[in-house]
Amino acid sequence: MINDDRIISDLEELESFLVAVESGMLGLNNAAGIVLATSNADGRRFVAVLDDNNQLLLGRWVTEEVFQTGQDLVKNGPKRKH
């Protein structure tokens, strides 16, 4: 599912990731939403960029702490703009 072993380990990294997605820096086409989710395979937490059909475009692993404390940041979007 996620072919990237980098792990977002703090809220600053999560915010930078969100800004990169929103600004188009990652070159994702048809990105419609960003969510925090749990892998059914192994229970690991990740941030997922979804298209308008709710298909995964890009995922990045996150620590449990980021998963727990980053919910509002993902829901409301980053304060820092691109």
pLDDT one-digit tens code per residue, 5-59: 789 999 999 999 999 999 999 999 889 999 999 999 999 999 999 999 999 999 9
Pairing status of strand 56-62 against strand 7-8: parallel
Residue 65 within a domain:
yes
pLDDT band for 60, please (50, 70, 90 cuts): very high
C-beta of residue 45 within 8 angstroms of C-beta of residue 36: yes
Structural domain for 18, as ranges: 7-76
In a domain, 71, yes or no: yes
The answer to the question of residue 81 being in a domain is no
